[in-house]
Every structure is written in structure tokens, then in C-alpha cells.
Chain A
Amino acid sequence: MSIDIQKIRKDFPILDQMVHGKPLAYFDNAATAHKPQQVIDAIDEVYTTYNSNIHRGVHHLSNVCTQAFEDARVKVQNFINAPHSHEVIFTRGTTEAINLIATSFGESFLKAGDEVIVSQLEHHSNIVPWQLLEKRKGIVLKVIPINDAGELVLDDLDDFLTERTKLVAVAHISNALGTINPIKTIIDRAHAKSIPVMIDGAQAVQHLKVDVQALDCDFYVFSGHKIYGPTGIGALYGKEEWLNKMEPYQGGGEMIQTVSFDGTTFNELPFKFEAGTPDYSGAVGMGAAIDYVNAIGLENIAAYEQELLEYGMEQLSQIPGIQFYGTAKEKASVISFIVGNIHPFDMGTMLDKLGLAVRTGHHCAQPLMQRYNIPGTVRASFAVYNTKEEIDRLVAGVKRVSLLFA
């Protein structure tokens, strides 16, 4: 089945606007994707028809709202093929999900000298929570290196995985380079030594089908806003055997069974990890976003985005002096580049004047930029609503700006 991009574009009201007198071409999807009307409507419906605090309510609206929230959980469950809905924890996003794991898993299972393994291409969100654990508990953070193409070098992985290794935490897809990491290989090799694996799926779920049972990962985390859903909501999948053994992350309402000053017992999964009133409207919006993606079909989205990626790489590579960062064989629709010695900030500032929204800078992956010894890159990341005509405008824009700085 092929998809009708013009029809899809009409679902996204934000795309139809002028920026600095030029039609907006939005290439910053790896930072956040826009929201289709279906998602906006779903959130609107929460507040206009059934808003009410969820769980433990005996009145009608509370029941409707609770049902919508729990339906959203099931949508997430089905979307990643999790065995049970109680293995899906709603969080504020990927960052909070990783912090939850670092804190709760760390509290329950990590001691001084224990190792956590990440990679060179991680987002700061999958580095800093572990560094906090280094400080707090004296764990050791080890880093899987990458090659020049931006691919993980796994030759020494078995040596990396020692008796002290308690967790491997890697990105499914690099936000700065687009590299699709061979996570199945990593999971299998870690499991061969009984080491659990957490996958940061923030850049993956919007581009390819994720099946946590097929992957057999122990944790998988992602955000709603990068998959056409609202901001402030994300999901953490964890195998129940781990989640049950982990300490709660935050204390408060909802996550308790009984509270007394002699001691408190915690609620069962998933509520144990959802302290306070959760973002139920966000969860409903995220559920609507998953419905939206499912209706188009992730395989259709993936095929179209690969087409855009190939076209973009082909066209951009004709620009004299362009250097690409991230040329992995397996790659999502992210193009990171620098032209000559033009600073990414300069390039981005000028492209903005042409109505072209790109991201510039270190993309919250400074260790990766240090690896390449660059201050940052210009990053164009494509979503299902981007077109080849927009890419033509980007290429023309980059050419024009390059001449200006020559």
C-alpha cells in the first residue's frame, strides 16, 4: 500500500504556515514531531467531555476517564507487543523513564563497583542518570565505542560484559546520527551472561516496528511527543519480574496500598511506579497518536521515510564541501552534516530565514561530538509528512547559505 502524503499533511494543521515569509518546511522531527488533528481532538475531548481524576473515583466521569487512561495503556502495550499491560508504566517521557530505571533498578540491584554499559552515541538522557549513580553509589560506567560511520563497535562486547556488569543501556537509534543499532545482537549477548538490557527507543518507535517480546529486552522506553503525540508523556516497558523487584521511584498518591506511620505498602504494577495524578490527557493523546500511526502503518511510514532519506542523502551529497556524520548501513531518516567550515549555528540561523527548520548544535550528545571533534552538526530529520519538494528546498537553501559564507 502506498500512502497519500498530501492527505497526511492535511492532518497536521501546524504545517500550513509561513515562517519569515516562506512556507514552513519542518525538518526537526527527531526533536519533536508535530501532532495530527486526531491527537489534538482526543486531548480536547478529555477536557471538554470527561476530565476527572482517575482511579478510586465512584462517579461517572472518573470512571470514563480511568477507562480512557487504561485503554491508552493497552494501546501502548499492543503497539510494542508487551505481554501485559501492567508492564507499561506511564512516565513524563524517555528521560524520566531512564531516570526511573537508574534510580529504582540502581537502588535495588547496584552496588559500588558494579558496571553499567552505555555507548558513545547516547543522548545525555542515557548518560547523566548513570553518572549520577556513579556519584551516588560508586558504580562504573563503561562505554561501547563507535567507528567513523557512527556504528557501534561490538567486537569486544563479550569482554565488556563482565561479572560486574549489571545492566546494558543503549539507544535503539541515535538521535544525532540516525544509526540503527543492532540491539538484538546486544540483547542476546548480554543475556548469554544473564545481564539485563534497557533500550532507549525515543528515536525508534516512530520509525520502525518494535516488538519487545521478539527483542526480549528487559526495559524499553520512549516518548509520546516524538511519535506525533503530546509532550509530557512517555512509556516505560519493563518485564514484570524486574519491576516487581524494583523499589518505587517516587512516593505519593496512587502508588500506595495502605499508608500508616508504622509503614506503607505499595500498590501493584503498574501503579507502584505512577505516583501522583498521572498525565491522563497526555496518555489519551499518546494513545490517539499510536492509533494514527497504526492506521497509516509503520511499515509504510518506514518505507516512505527511507525513500526521503535516500533522496536527501543523494541530493545533499552534491553540495561541495559537505561532510556527513552518521553513514551507518542501517540508518533512520536523520541526516547530520557540516558544510566546509561553516558553523552549524550560522547554517541553521540562515536556513531559518528561508523557512527551513533544522536543528543545530550537539543534539544533547556531547560525547559523540567529542568523538568526531566537532562543535555540533546541522541535523535534518524527516517524518512521514515531509516531501521531496521540501528536501529540494533544503538543498537549495544549504547551497545558497554555503555561498554566503564562502
Chain B
Amino acid sequence: MGMTIKEIQEEIVEEFSVFDDWMDKYSYLIEIGNDLEGFEEEYRLDTNLIEGCQSRVWLHGELKDGKIHYVADSDAIIVKGIVGLLVRALDGRTPDEILENDLTFVEEIGLKEHLSPTRSNGLVAMIKQMRLYALAFKAKQSS
């Protein structure tokens, strides 16, 4: 804790900068995917499901002490690896922080292709959903 979203993104970019070959990069992504924890089966609800054409993502968000905690999962490991990075960047942040920061690291580490709408892996919708959680919790807080 203590790091800003910007700093975490920089940290991720730094981590990925050591890979000069796509195979190593994807191996690392697979590792992150395999290690991603925190998603309990109770969250595997249709209401948490983001249906991609190729793969599926589940995302659940909760507000605790003014901060949003995300847990997420995917049936495809590469997607799950990216999901893990997205959660790492935004988990435990206030709604305002989440809404103020753009997720630039995905492009910087060369995974932008996975966020193109045509990949239909659920990731684009997942980012949108993470922001919607922030918007909803923000509205709730101020009401």
C-alpha cells in the first residue's frame, strides 16, 4: 500500500521491461494468471459474468472503508493474467482514484492487442465494469 495507481502501473511496466521475447512475457502472464487468488466460488454468479465471445471474465467489487476491493477470474489463463494485472492496479483504491487514472500500462507492456474490441475476450468490458463499480460506489457515498 501507499503506492498510487500511477506508481503501480510504472512498477508493472518495469517488471515487464526485462522480457525481450514474447515467450517470456506470456510465460510471466500465465504465471500471474495461475497465481491469481481471492476469487471465491460464491462470486461466480451470472450477475458478475462478463461474457466474451472467446473467453469469460467474472468480476466482483465491494466497497470497504471507502475503498473498492475487486476480485476477478477468467476461464482463459492469459486473460486471467491480464485480469490479475488490472486488479493489482485498481484494487484497494478509492472510487475517485479509479476514475481519475487511465490504465496505460497495458499498452506499454505490449498487450494492447488483447484490449482491442475484436479480441472479444471480455477485458474491455471488464475495465468498463471496474469503472462502473467506482461510479456506482461514488454515487452511493455521496447520497
Contacts and interface: CB of A to CB of B under 8 A. Distances in A.
Contacts of A344: 54
A343 B75 CA distance: 7
Of the listed residues A342, A345, A349, A375, the one surrounded by the most CB atoms of chain B closer than 10 A to its CB is A345
B56 A353 contact: no
A349 B23 CA distance: 11
B18 to A, nearest CB: 18
Given A353-B22, A404-B27, A404-B30, A375 B56 contact: yes
Of the listed residues A343, A350, A360, the one surrounded by the most CB atoms of chain B closer than 10 A to its CB is A343
Interface string A179-222: 00000000000000000000000000000000000000000000
Interface in B81-115: none
B77 A405 contact: yes
Contacts of A348: 54
Interface residues of A, number: 17
Contacts of A20: 22
B78 A345 contact: yes
A362 B30 CA distance: 23
Interface residues of B, number: 15
B79 A345 contact: yes
B9 interface: no
A14 B142 CA distance: 57
Contacts of A353: 22-23, 26
Contact of A349 (B53, B56, B75, B78): B78
A225 B1 CA distance: 55
B54 A361 contact: yes
B132 interface: no
Contact of B54 (A350, A376, A404, A405): A376
Interface string A345-360: 1101110010000001
Nearest to B22: A353
A360 B121 CA distance: 11
B26 A350 contact: yes
Contact of A360 (B26, B27, B54, B56): B54
B129 interface: no
Nearest to A21: B22
Of the listed residues B22, B55, B121, the one surrounded by the most CB atoms of chain A closer than 10 A to its CB is B55
Contacts of B77: 342-343, 346, 405
A255 B12 CA distance: 61
A365 to B, nearest CB: 13
Contacts of B56: 375
Interface in A79-117: none
B133 to A, nearest CB: 25
Given A349-B78, A375-B75, A405-B77, A343 B26 contact: no
26 contacts: A20-B22, A343-B75, A343-B77, A344-B54, A345-B54, A345-B55, A345-B78, A345-B79, A345-B121, A346-B30, A346-B76, A346-B77, A346-B78, A346-B79, A349-B26, A349-B78, A350-B26, A353-B22, A353-B23, A360-B54, A361-B53, A375-B75, A376-B54, A404-B26, A405-B30, A405-B77
3 A-B pairs with least C-beta separation: A343-B76, A345-B76, A345-B55
Interface of A: 20, 342-346, 348-350, 353, 360-362, 375-376, 404-405
